[in-house]
Amino acid sequence: MKYLVTLLILFSANTKATRFEIIDSCKSTPIFSTVVTDSYQSIGELSLNVLGQNNIPNLASDYGISQIYNSPIGLDAMEVLSDTMMRSHGWCYSVDGMLPEVLMNEYTLTGKEKVITWFMGYSTYIGNPMTGEAVWEGQCIPSYSLEAAPFPDLCN
């Protein structure tokens, strides 16, 4: 009996489980969360499988995700702030709180990941009409961190 209990503890300790969550542009709490115990080679493979298995509407490819549920895409995902400034929103992912600088199909999973989070993020475009130069500031800054929700029609 003691041997059986020890084996159960060892097997449960070695079971890998990754939390997969989706956070929208309205608030920092997940609108979807599940635990994944299957093995996948990449973030892309895992993400596409979770979205499909849970019937979550999306526009995605092996490289990235353009839309989850009814999130804005294309020009609808842009906020014009002035004649020289705008924000562009899109889906970003983090692994254990870190933002990888690679496409989702290029991130190889090790099996040690605890949390994979997809969230709506933004970058700000700032143009200089005097010089014609422009810069993008920030990358994948969570949209929910903005003082006002960028797409209030999508918030409850």
Query: Is there a domain that residue 136 lies in?
Result: yes
Q: What CATH number has the domain bearing residue 95?
A: 2.170.130.30
Over the stretch 106-126, which tens digit does the pLDDT of each residue have? 999 999 999 999 999 999 999
Query: Is there a domain that residue 92 lies in?
Result: yes
What is the count of structural domains for the chain?
Answer: 1
Query: Is there a domain that residue 95 lies in?
Result: yes
Query: Is there a domain that residue 155 lies in?
Result: no
pLDDT score of 15: 54
pTM: 0.87
Separation CA 24–CA 111 (nearest Å)? 26
Query: Is there a domain that residue 74 lies in?
Result: yes
Query: Is there a domain that residue 6 lies in?
Result: no
Who wins on pLDDT, 153 or 121?
A: 121
Determine contact, residues 116/94, Cβ cutoff 8 Å.
yes
Query: Is there a domain that residue 134 lies in?
Result: yes
- Name the residue range of residue 63's domain: 18-144
Over the stretch 49-83, which tens digit does the pLDDT of each residue have? 999 999 999 999 989 999 999 999 999 999 999 99
Q: Which two tokens stand for residue 82?
A: 């002035």
